[in-house]
Structure 1
Amino acid sequence: MPAEKAIISGLSGRYATALFALARESASLEALARDRAHLTAFFGEQPGLLSLAASPLLTRNQQGAVVETLATRLDLSALMKKFLGVLTRNRRLSILLAVLRDLSALEADHKGEVTADVRVARALTKTQMTALEAQLKSIAGRDVAINASVDESLIGGLVVRIGSRMIDSSIATKLDSLERAMKGI
């Protein structure tokens, strides 16, 4: 597979690209990566909190207070605090997870890696993750940063997306294919 550049588009892509450029100019890419990881992990553990914070029922001041408390609790960098303030003022907190995903792709591209979004039926062990990373590296031809998420609807197996390429070896897809074949579709 030839080396692919990260394709970042849409509103979240514009915000992510601007934030990444600011971090690069101020030589704070490491702090940005740390902040992104903290926010991604936090909202992964507390998925409803972002919806609550982004609620249109809250005033900008209330949203700002929630964001400020969160930023202090997670010990985020000044750049990320300012960025979250901009999202809050522009009423764009709802796209924060998409911005974080796009930032991850930009960081990987900057390091010469490719990002692989992997959905699995059950969480992977460290050994499985290492083996998957090695296999994906051989397919992509360069280092791979894996964004893994659990999706129990897959039943078993995994779905990998690297750039525009998708590899679906989930049991759910195989069962769906069998069902279509049996129906004669």
Structure 2
Amino acid sequence: MRSAVIWEQYNAAREQLQARIAEKIRRQMSTLVGNMESADLLLVAADGRKLPAHECILRARAPGFYQRHVEATVAAMGRQDGRLREVAIGDIDSSGLEFFIHSVYTEDEMAQFPSQLDEERRDLSRASNRSLAMDESTAELDFHRRGADDRSPEEETPTTGRPPLGDILASGVSYFQILQ
């Protein structure tokens, strides 16, 4: 009996600690969203808007997206000291890309999922041992359009031949399935 009480106390303390750590990480990660100073990539949306991003974060937190849309361009460009590398994401508009990047960095979109998916999310969270309890949204980000080029989304880009991200998102595939 005594060990059951201790186990419950341990689990409660562990969950509280995980929630506090997750919140702190979320706040810190939200400061990186749109941060031009530390970014090493500029993701160019279908409408030409450019969103700053961090290669290491995309690689770690959105490996499927990174492999489909970023990896080939980055490999072809190589390292460019002090310069942002532009990566065309020609199959999704800037608002969708902005939402996706914000979600990758902070996981804030989780509050917007229907309750049916909440159980799936919790199972994924438990399996990955990450807390997804994020209930505070960050300030709305204002990304400014800078030198949008005149390419159309149909022109050849490093993502040609891959399923368009916009189509994937529209098909109802969850954010976590994209990341896998």
**TM-score, length-normalised on structure 1?**
0.25
Give the structure with the larger helix fraction.
1
Bigger RCO of structures 1 and 2 (CA < 8 A, at least 6 apart): 2
**TM-score, length-normalised on structure 2?**
0.26
